[in-house]
Amino acid sequence: FNVSPVETTPFDGQKPGTSGLRKKVKVFKQPNYLENFVQSTFTALTPRKVRGAALVVSGDGRYFSKDAIQIIIKMAAGNGVRRIWVGQNGLLSTPAVSAVIRERVGVDVSSRLVSGSRATGAFILTASHNPGGPNEDFGIKYNMENGGPAPEGITDQIYENTKTIKEYLTADLPDVDITAIGVTSFSGHDGQFDVEVFDSASDYVKLMKMDTAKLFCHCICMNDRLSIFDFESIQKLLTSPKFTFCYDALHGVAGAYAKRIFVEELGAQESSLLNCVPKEDFGGGHPDPNLTYAKELVSRMGLGKSNSEVEPPEFGAAADGDADRNMILGKRFFVTPSDSVSIIAANAVEAIPYFSAGLKGVARSMPTSSGLDVVAKNLNLKFFEVPTGWKFFGNLMDAGLCSICGEESFGTGSDHIREKDGIWAVLAWLSILAYKNKENLGGGELVTVEDIVRNHWATYGRHYYTRYDYENVDAGAAKELMAYLVKLQSSLSEVNDCVKPGLKLIECGDCRDDAGLELELNPGFLIVSGIRSDVSKVVHADEFEYKDPIDGSISKHQGIRYLFEDGSRLIFRLSGTGSEGATIRLYIEQYEKDPSKTGRDSQDALAPLVAVALGLSKMQEFTGRSAPTVIT
Ligand code: VG1
Ligand code: CO
């Protein structure tokens, strides 16, 4: 084949967000738009790393993926890449890509012999939980040789390159058939170029399954050959008549793994799988596993309004489009993602073979509840708080400092790969359930998801938690709100004036019966003897900044935090994954240690803090919104 440069001009706004570049399909379909980003990535990686490399290219199968894969294959050949691995039909979940990079690094003998190189990384084609289809979102991100998302140093460089790009390189190859497993080879002036289509699930399934021979040899976890779960004990649980199960892939790529793992390997019934056929448009839905968007599962689990007569399953879970997120549900019971990671961490050593030698440490993103902090403290584990986005966990894991980590946004994972992992989280929960019910499957009462969570609260206290999302807000208004909060944050006394208004004399007629304020009548005046008794005072406020303990890099402006005396927290940040307008996220958390008070309804328990947050931020004034788009 021949390689030729193609002239191009820069596009505005190709800055990767929290997890890659996400835009409307219409934007990606503009001539050279994808090409510019891909070439800018190759340039950022430098020809030294790209030439002779082996790259994975696949994704969640959303609309435009197939076209994008053909474009990237030709550009990879044009840039001197030696080999491209593609999951059959272009399907690979984000965690599976991470596993494939790590699994195949250095083991592709032919590629090593020919080029002396190893897998450089992957282009993952996904916009994750964002809807797909001709009028919806597409996305692309680059993952490094450790299997994790490119760090900010690289994404910043990619962005810089997109601003000055003048040409890209591409080869005059025909389209490659990515529907059939096999290798297609081409020869160019510099040597051979291979495209290998492989089974989307097998590497990942192999990684998840425990190999008992290795149980006794923890030293080998360094080379990541150690498998993770005890499939046999999970199978006993899933096939027990006492236990019922349901998994919803929301028509995302998780469907390609769910049947193989849950049904074929673990013996779950096929009828327990919902929406497990991957679709380019996710069946028109929003592939985001939460109580709002995973409607079918939520109602099956007895949590929706349209409760049927049928007894809900004991366990339910859902994934997002690229299968790195998870939602865990029990019968008529929702497990918050923050609780989920805390509970997995607290039970991992006993219940999951991969961790039986102990945890190296745990980590959470800043807005994730402090539940994990309490577990870390009690179990004497190393603990880290990083900015939002999985890329920040990678260095900690590479340095052997962190085994389990999580985000409040339905992301949970471990150092078996460098992405969050939706199916792993389900297997982790099934492992815990299998462990707790080892003796109960024959006779005795089943320990349920709800029991496990309530016991956890009784031991560690409960972190009431909710997130309010204001989606597609006017970008200018969102910026103003954040600027206002940054300014306010610098003066604690002003903050507390808003949070806990002091004594005030208000002329009669002006007074309103605000929730939480005690009103007292005085002749001619109304004395608002302020001091809300239902929230404590703010003792610290700042804009979160992170210094990576491994490479020393600093990430600024990672969200505004208000920390209260009693451990409550309010956090405001702007989303970095949207494709239009701005999304404001408000995270609200309150710690309750008293075991007699951990059973309240979470929205009730948090109502006073919500009121404070909305007042403090002047949310309605800035955004014109009286209610959030989604509450999780
Ligand atoms: C959101 C979540 C964040 C997550 C990111 C990618 O980012 O809040 O925790 O890591 O999505 O998840 P943001 O910037 O919109 O808040 V995924 O499953 O979309 O790759
Ligand atoms: Co995702």
Active site residues: 128
* pLDDT above 70 for 520: no
- Say how many domains are in the chain: 3
**Ligand 1 atom 6 nearest Cα:** 19
* pLDDT above 70 for 504: no
Note whether 157 and 44 are within 8 A (CB): yes
Residue partners of 557: CB distance under 8 A and separation at least 6: 543, 545
> Domain end: 405, 431, 460, which one?
460
Whether 130 is covered by a domain: the verdict is yes
Say yes or no: 189 and 110 in one domain. Answer: yes
**So what's the pLDDT on residue 31?**
96
The ligand that comes nearest to the alpha carbon of residue 572 is: 1
Does residue 130 line the site of ligand 1, with CB under 6 A? no
> Domain end: 404, 430, 460, which one?
460
Say yes or no: 271 and 282 in one domain. Answer: yes
The ligand that comes nearest to the alpha carbon of residue 93 is: 2
CA of 407 to the centre of ligand 1 (A): 9
* pLDDT above 60 for 511: no
CA of 175 to the centre of ligand 1 (A): 33
DSSP secondary structure letters along 382-437: -EEEE-SSTHHHHHHHHTT--SEEEETTTEEEETTSSS--HHHHHHHHHHHHHHHT
**So what's the pLDDT on residue 350?**
93
Say yes or no: 321 and 414 in one domain. Answer: yes
- Start-to-end CA distance of the chain, whole Å, equals 52
18 — pLDDT class (breaks 50, 70, 90): confident
**pLDDT digit string, tens, across residues 224-273:** 445 689 889 999 999 999 899 999 999 999 999 999 999 999 999 999 99
**Ligand 1 atom 4 nearest Cα:** 389
Does residue 194 line the site of ligand 1, with CB under 6 A? no
Does residue 411 line the site of ligand 1, with CB under 6 A? yes
For residues 105 and 250, the model is more confident at: 250
The ligand that comes nearest to the alpha carbon of residue 579 is: 1
**pLDDT digit string, tens, across residues 296-315:** 999 999 997 665 678 999 99
**Where are the strands (E) in 221-319, listed by range?**
245-248, 273-274, 315-319
Whether 518 is covered by a domain: the verdict is no
Least confident of 49-58, 353-362, 526-535, 560-569: 526-535
Say yes or no: 67 and 119 in one domain. Answer: yes
* pLDDT above 50 for 506: no
**So what's the pLDDT on residue 599?**
86
Mean pLDDT of 440-467: 92
Mean pLDDT of 462-472: 93
Q: Is the ipTM of this complex over 0.95?
A: yes
Say yes or no: 456 and 575 in one domain. Answer: no
> Domain end: 437, 460, 483, which one?
460
* pLDDT above 80 for 571: yes
- Percentage above 90 pLDDT, the chain: 62
Say yes or no: 292 and 365 in one domain. Answer: yes
447 — pLDDT class (breaks 50, 70, 90): very high
What is the number of the ligand 1 atom nearest to the C-alpha of 408?
A: 9
- The CATH number that applies at residue 188 is 3.40.120.10
Nearest to 83 by CA among 174, 3, 224, 191: 191
Say yes or no: 418 and 565 in one domain. Answer: no
8-state DSSP, 222: G
CB atoms within 10 A of CB 474: 13
Whether 557 is covered by a domain: the verdict is yes
Q: Distance between CA atoms of 154 and 141, rounded to whole angstroms?
A: 11
Whether 98 is covered by a domain: the verdict is yes
- The CATH number that applies at residue 557 is 3.30.310.50
**So what's the pLDDT on residue 223?**
44
Task: Tell me what the pLDDT averaged over the chain comes to.
Answer: 87
Whether 527 is covered by a domain: the verdict is no
Say yes or no: 283 and 378 in one domain. Answer: yes
| pTM of the predicted structure, to 2 decimals | 0.88
Does residue 575 line the site of ligand 1, with CB under 6 A? yes
* pLDDT above 90 for 163: yes
For residues 619 and 309, the model is more confident at: 619
Q: What type of residue sits at position 407?
A: E
**So what's the pLDDT on residue 74?**
97
Whether 328 is covered by a domain: the verdict is yes
Does residue 577 line the site of ligand 1, with CB under 6 A? yes
Say yes or no: 305 and 415 in one domain. Answer: yes
Whether 185 is covered by a domain: the verdict is yes
**So what's the pLDDT on residue 307?**
58
Residue partners of 195: CB distance under 8 A and separation at least 6: 73, 83, 84, 86, 176, 178, 183, 184, 185, 186
Residue partners of 532: CB distance under 8 A and separation at least 6: 499, 500, 501, 516, 517, 608, 612
Structural domain of 20:
3-200
Say yes or no: 196 and 213 in one domain. Answer: no
Mean pLDDT of 35-64: 94
CA of 411 to the centre of ligand 1 (A): 8
Name beta bridge partners: 198. Answer: 87
**So what's the pLDDT on residue 517?**
43
Say yes or no: 326 and 411 in one domain. Answer: yes
Whether 475 is covered by a domain: the verdict is yes
Mean pLDDT of 105-133: 68
In degrees and rounded to multiples of 5, residue 527 shows phi and psi of -95, 115
Does residue 136 line the site of ligand 1, with CB under 6 A? no
Note whether 464 and 611 are within 8 A (CB): no
Say yes or no: 29 and 175 in one domain. Answer: yes
* pLDDT above 50 for 435: yes
